[in-house]
Structure 1
Amino acid sequence: MKKVLLPLATGFEELEAVTVIDILRRANISVTVAGLNDGVITGSRGTRILPDEILDTNSASDYDMIVLPGGLPGADNLNNDSRIHRLLKQMADDGRYIAAICAAPKVLAAAGLLDNKEVTSFPGALSDTNTVGMRYTGKAIVTDGNVITSRGPGTAMDFSLELVRLLVGAETQQQVEQGLQR
């Protein structure tokens, strides 16, 4: 079974986080929701989620993919956490999938993972980043090697289905999509 780590920080974008969790679990992908802190994490719109565990117990080698939801100040809180940067770099070094949506691609940029990559994000989210050769497309979803980025809440469903395709194949992606009546 494929395994995904989804870190949650205070101020996460609810639509992005919950859509990813739901769609991946519909595809029988194990999703571990790890809070940066102990206890309930509150999203940018006030939704409260109790994570499965605290981020401290995670090892990059345990997962096939890490997915960072956006939202503000959630993406900033992820970016300010050294554990996130450590996990991202380890997963990149191992060639594992790294995905981020909305404002969260700036966390990938800060970790040095968007150099010479084609990417997308919420408009303006990457304007203050220091990257070499990054090509911003503005597309809904961009997959460049093992890095997957997406624009925002409105692209969360398609982003999640792309993650399913990458992890377990197009057939499972189509089955999940049919079950959603899209």
Structure 2
Amino acid sequence: MVTGKNPAASKSFGLAICNALKIRKFSKNILMVVAPIDFEDVELYAPKTLLEINGANVTVASTTTTALGLNGSTCTTDIMISDAKATDYDGIVIVGGTGVIGSLWDDKDLRNLLKDADKEKKMIAAICAAPPILARAGLLKNRKATMFPWSDGIKELTKNGANYVDQEVVVSGNIVTGRNPDASVAFGLKLCEELKILGN
């Protein structure tokens, strides 16, 4: 018997049902990276839920033990970015929001982590204001990418060799980028598809 408390418990309720039916297989380990403050809530929770429902084990990283969302959510993080190792994960996903600009665009630990993941051809993804992090790490040269349609951010992509396209979600090799909060579900589904876990 599985029961749930209220609408806020919907995700936990759904996952409990999946566990009771023994249909969740943790076949992939994913690291989701958030800014310590002002990450975009839906860009974390929608893809994270889709990944978990389809059998991925998600770890959340930041530069603090607690991260605060733009829309009021509080996320307890699992690991510091500086302690994360690319070899431990099948994919790295960077959540957007205005907070990434000041805190993660130039984070050296994150940049090195991404470079290590790219060398191993791991899936690397970013949404909204986060794709310039990939560009500054040198991962988007001669690749198509999207992001929030903001001129300063787009300049960061193009000056680092990326080909900006205004699409909801863009896949270029092992890189997945998403446009904005409205693309969060499509972005999450594409991550599952690229990881070959969609429908697990």
TM-score range, shorter chain: 0.7 to 0.9
Q: AA paired with 2:179?
A: R
Q: Is the 8 A contact 2:189 2:198 kept in 1?
A: no
> Within 5 A, what are the aligned runs for 1:80-99?
80-99=106-125
Identity, in percent, stands at 33
Correspondence for 1:72 = 98
Correspondence for 1:141 = 169
TM-score in terms of structure 2 length: 0.80
Rounded to whole Å, the distance in 2 between the matches of 1:99 and 1:119 is: 10
> Within 5 A, what are the aligned runs for 1:22-171?
22-37=49-64, 39-124=65-150, 125-129=153-157, 130-132=159-161, 134-171=162-199
Q: AA paired with 1:87?
A: L
TM-score in terms of structure 1 length: 0.88
- Are the structure 2 counterparts of residues 3 and 50 from structure 1 closer, same or farther at C-alpha, using a change threshold of 3 Å? same
Q: Deviations over 1:52-100 (max 9, x none)?
A: 2222321101111000011002243111311110111001111111100
How far off its partner does 1:35 sit? 2.1
Rounded to whole Å, the distance in 2 between the matches of 1:41 and 1:93 is: 29
1:12 aligns with 2:39: yes
Rounded to whole Å, the distance in 2 between the matches of 1:154 and 1:93 is: 31
How far off its partner does 1:171 sit? 4.1
Greater Cα radius of gyration, structure 1 or 2:
2
Of stretches 88-97 and 42-51 in structure 1, the one that deviates more from structure 2 is 42-51
Name the count of aligned residue pairs.
170
Q: Is the 8 A contact 1:12 1:75 kept in 2?
A: no
How far off its partner does 1:170 sit? 4.7
Q: AA paired with 2:76?
A: L
RMSD value, Cα: 1.4
> Aligned to 2:149, what secondary structure does the other structure show?
coil
Q: AA paired with 1:154?
A: D
Q: AA paired with 1:27?
A: N
Rounded to whole Å, the distance in 2 between the matches of 1:40 and 1:26 is: 24
Q: Which runs of 5+ in 1 are unaligned?
A: 173-182
Q: Is the 8 A contact 2:144 2:172 kept in 1?
A: yes
